[in-house]
Chain A
Amino acid sequence: MIAVAAGTNRIDPYLIPALDGVAYGLLVFVAASGLVFCFGVANILNLAHGLLYAIGGYTAAALLDGGWASLGLALAVGVLAAAAAGVLLAGLLTPVAAGNHLSQALLTFGVALAGGSLLVAGFGPDNPQVRVPAALEGSVMVAGHRYAAYRLVFIVVAAVLALALYLVVRRTRAGMLVRAAVDDPEMVACLGVSPARIRAGVLAAAGALAGAAGVLGAPIIGPGTGTADTVLLLSLVVVVLGGLGSMAGTLLAALAIGEIQTLGVALLPSAAPFLLFAAMAAVLAVRARGLAGRWRPA
């Protein structure tokens, strides 16, 4: 391998980890936004959120065959399946009093365990292979470094998803209701919007987001027996770091997690096992409300 002249300066070796941190962070953002949405808007603590991501991931592994059409199909099926699972969860949660987090946590955790076992029973205990479209299988040169093409494209797609999410919350009637429900849930109920419908809608939307993240993120956080736990854990760390208040906080927290997990590991490999939780503890100690304020788009 020919040494590139730029390889001699001090920042250069960390360019790729920093870029990869953005890809990882955006994936965590799309995956976690559903959980933040559920918790912040509908006041539902959904510990089965990781399961929704895993459904998307397994769908991707089962349907992707290296062509573009299969990617579209997997995305559609994964989003619908995870959204349907979200609605099912909303149905199961109906008897549980709103805001009773312990009962919600127990119920959704049970669903996560049962659902995880069903996925393993259906798809086997091995981590299935995910085949991205052939055009994205290779690598491209970024500022003199080789980087996986899929991850580069993923950054663009995830950024578009994040922007779309912002516009939906900001500009649509559904988004307005969601924002209103955060500010004053009683007033929204007085307007004649059923809380059950909001709950089902929010869980379906959260499922759709997690499903989309699961399909598109399968080559990065692949489906397997530990996937649901990994994604749930990362999403909960996003809640701790970013708070429940704003999309900006969620995005900031997700990107911070991405950079800690890549750039942080590259800088301090010996601290890799506890870097993320050290950062979480530091944020909790300094600013218990998270990095940003209430849930507002921007």
Chain B
Amino acid sequence: MPLTTPWRSRALTAALLAAVLTTSSACGDDAPGTSAGGSIKIGLLASLSGTYQAVGTEIRDGFQLYLDTHDGKLGGRQVDLIVADEGNGAQTAVPAATKLLKQDRVSALTGIVGGGSVAGVTPVLNETKVPLVGSNGRPELKDVSRVWHTSYLSDEPGAAIAQHVRDNVKGSVYAIGPDYQGGWDELRGFTDAFGKIGGKLANADGKTTFTPFPATTNFLPYFARIKASGAAAVYTFYAGSAAVDFVKQYAQSEIKDIPLYAAGFLTEGGVLNAQGEAARDIYSVLNYSPDLDNAENRAFVAAWKAKHDGSPTTYALASYDAAAVLDRAIGAAGSNPTPEAINTAIGQLGQIASPRGTWQFSTTTHSPVQKWYLRQVRQDGRALSNTVVGDLATVGR
């Protein structure tokens, strides 16, 4: 800890640390034999039930994998990881986060699947002055002084792939997506960037077609319009069961030969298994793919596969990176890693080595400035998998 820190602040941090230590010793069974550095409490909030259970489980497992491969320590301190269920959204997430922050007194919070949950939790973070290293949902936020994300902003995938689509598609592109905030952001990212470089949309009125969400399960009427528009390619974003319906129906429809470009979530994780053969050849843009060729990724994928079936997803990766961020920040926060000190340290991390390639936090949005990859669904051994076929833009602001 720097000697220039005022005495009052040090006294406060010492008192806080004492509080943390006394409360953690009450449930010391989880962290027997704490090392010389002491222990630290981290709260992980993720959807372990409900619609986003699959994503929430990946986020929990990604963080746990980092702990398992680092002796259960972050920044040299034994971690007391407290996991809470985010449920379907802010309604369940806020009480769970409040318990983690006020009752368990965690030093940092991580996870959180839904953007709405993050927005709901932010006021409690500001009240308790605890940093959030989020690993998925990132809504529009006015104040990001204590909010950091290892994931991405919703409009970045589309912005990253626009140039590639412009260069490789001879003709206009049909843009279609689900009618909710996430869908608007994802599609706007693409159409704005695509329009700026002279790309033309095939949609009748030059605007993205939005399908009612989650009511739309039959996409055939929209496919008929795409066919009639004469589009040379389609750009889309869907996730979850809508992604399965869209891809399966696309492959059987009259536009099955029109190239399909998408934000990576269309074919990411469990949905790819459900889509099966129908997903073959789809192009998608994402900040990660399990076949990236770097040392960090080889170690990450090997460790993941030793514990789980299948390859890690971008959700697991983001959570793994959140642990890596906390590891370095807690280490850099000195002998008294208070929430405030951890937050300051996160802002000074600089380049972060990761399985996705090196990235760093943007100083304005506190989300990654990172490279995006073009992937295609191809045969990989017996299963279909997202294979990297090229680098796209580095995006972040």
Contacts and interface: CB of A to CB of B under 8 A. Distances in A.
Interface of A: 1, 3, 7, 13-14, 16-17, 20, 24, 125-129, 137-139, 145-149, 220-222, 224-226, 230, 261-266, 269, 272-273
Given A20-B220, A129-B274, A262-B220, A148 B225 contact: no
Residue from the set A145, A148, A269 with the largest chain B CB neighbour count within 10 Å = A269
B176 to A, nearest CB: 10
Interface stretch (B70-78, B253-261, B369-377): B253-261
Contacts of A126: 53-54, 241, 270, 274
Contact of B221 (A127, A129, A226, A266): A266
Interface string B200-220: 000000000101101111101
Interface of B: 49-51, 53-54, 179, 209, 211-212, 214-218, 220-225, 227-228, 230, 240-241, 244-245, 249, 251-258, 270, 273-274, 276-277
Contacts of A226: 214
Residue from the set B217, B245, B274 with the largest chain A CB neighbour count within 10 Å = B217
Contacts of B218: 20, 24, 220, 261-262
B209 A146 contact: no
Contacts of B51: 125, 225
B221 A20 contact: yes
B214 A146 contact: no
A129 B220 contact: no
A146 B224 contact: no
Contacts of B215: 273
Contact of A127 (B223, B224, B241, B277): B241
Contacts of B53: 125-126
B252 A13 contact: no
Given A16-B254, A139-B252, A148-B249, A272 B212 contact: yes
24 contacts: A1-B255, A1-B258, A13-B225, A13-B228, A16-B253, A16-B254, A24-B218, A125-B49, A125-B51, A126-B53, A129-B244, A129-B276, A138-B252, A139-B256, A146-B252, A146-B254, A148-B249, A222-B241, A262-B220, A262-B221, A266-B222, A266-B224, A269-B221, A272-B216
B217 A221 contact: yes
B221 A265 contact: yes
A261 B212 CA distance: 12
Nearest to B223: A16
A273 B214 CA distance: 10
A117 B174 CA distance: 39
Nearest to B179: A273
Given A13-B228, A272-B211, 14 more contacts: A126-B274, A127-B240, A127-B274, A129-B244, A129-B273, A139-B256, A145-B254, A147-B253, A220-B218, A222-B241, A225-B51, A261-B218, A266-B224, A273-B215
B54 A269 contact: no
Contacts of B257: 1
A294 B109 CA distance: 63
A225 B49 CA distance: 13
Nearest to A21: B221
Contacts of B227: 7, 13
